[in-house]
Amino acid sequence: MSLSKEQHDLIIRGYEERQLSNFHEQNQRRNRVYTLIPQYKQLEDEVASLSAKKARLIIDGDESGMTEYRRQIAENAALRRQLLAEHNMPADYLEPIYGCPDCKDTGYIGSEKCHCFRRQEITLLYEQSNIQDMIERENFSTLSYEYYKGEDLTRFQNAVNVSKDFVAGFENHYQNLFFYGTVGTGKSFLSGCIAKELLSRCHSVIYFSAGGLFETLSRYSFDTKSKESLYNFYKDLYNCDLVIIDDLGTEVTNSFVTSQLFGLLNERHMRQKSTIISTNLSLEELRDRYSDRVFSRITSNYSICKLTGQDIRIQRKLSGKLFPKK
């Protein structure tokens, strides 16, 4: 599975529009500074004048002149930073503006697609509308503890803390999460909270219900015309920053599903790529349904959070609340 030309052009147009918007914003900032701080413009003009002398100093091999040039440039930069600070502006106020500083809003680092491009590519390829809609409603800003009591509350608080630690350490530590427990206790909600935070940092996230994931794998695997699509699908599943498998156990489980699940978990573990799984199954049911190999992989390499309590969706419906209070 790969982008069509129209999809690729759509992403590139987005980068071009962002570059133009940021260019206008940078110009507006510069004009604002020149109006409020005329001395800043004078200092910038001095830099241009000093730079014109640099080539001659290099040609002449004038080391003492170059030392003086560097001193003047450093002093000029310090004065400009001071002027910005005196007017409550950050030191980088006039620096180029980028949505993604890694690729400078080009979508590519060298000849490789940037992670921000990959995020958009995955969104288009896998139509992640389910999670996109969900995370706009359900995220850390709408998190509530009001539907939990006693041990159920303690477990949910622990799962929230684990989820926030997962986000905080994502760039530096390989980690996986396994949420299990009774229906409607916040497992998918916490997966969505994590996804929203990581998507906002331009990480690539693939979200699938278990049924949707294995149906897609089955369709590509048993269609001889879809070998290239299957290869690209595996490549994305193995390499994207985070895979979320929601409601494991709701799919029709068979030997194909079990082998595919183990292969996915094992390959992502080998590549040190994070995975989140949520399920209503107990740990015993997990082992009985998916084999000892899958059970061992999850219990050995995942932080396991058990959630219990009454179905929050039913509680909200009964109370007439669509979403929890902050």
Interval 246-264: pLDDT, tens: 999 999 999 999 999 999 9
Q: Can you give the pLDDT at residue 165?
A: 97
Residue (of 208, 193, 194, 297) closest to 245 by Cα position: 208
Q: Can you give the pLDDT at residue 325?
A: 41
Residue (of 244, 242, 237, 246) closest to 281 by Cα position: 246
Q: Can you give the pLDDT at residue 79?
A: 95
Q: Report how far apart, in Å, the C-alpha atoms of 142 and of each of 134, 211, 236, 264 are.
A: 12, 27, 30, 32
Non-local CB neighbours of 292 within 8 Å, separated by 6+ positions? none
Interval 131-171: pLDDT, tens: 777 788 888 999 989 889 999 999 999 999 999 999 999 99
- 226 or 268: whose pLDDT is higher? 268
Rounded to whole angstroms, the Cα distance separating 56 from 64 reads: 13
CATH architecture of the region 127-319: 3-Layer(aba) Sandwich (3.40)
Residue (of 98, 11, 75) closest to 2 by Cα position: 11
- Report pTM: 0.72
Q: For the chain, which residues make up each domain, given as ranges?
A: 5-86, 127-319
Q: Can you give the pLDDT at residue 202?
A: 80
Q: Can you give the pLDDT at residue 324?
A: 47
Binned at pLDDT 50, 70 and 90, residue 320 comes out as: low
Interval 272-317: pLDDT, tens: 999 999 999 999 999 999 999 999 999 999 999 999 998 887 877 7
Binned at pLDDT 50, 70 and 90, residue 326 comes out as: very low
Interval 70-123: pLDDT, tens: 888 899 999 999 999 999 999 999 999 999 999 999 999 999 889 889 888 887
- 63 or 135: whose pLDDT is higher? 135
Tell me the two tokens of residue 101. 């500083």
Q: Report how far apart, in Å, the C-alpha atoms of 95 and of each of 32, 41, 89 are.
A: 14, 15, 12
Query: Phi and psi at residue 38, in whole multiples of 5°?
Result: -55, -30
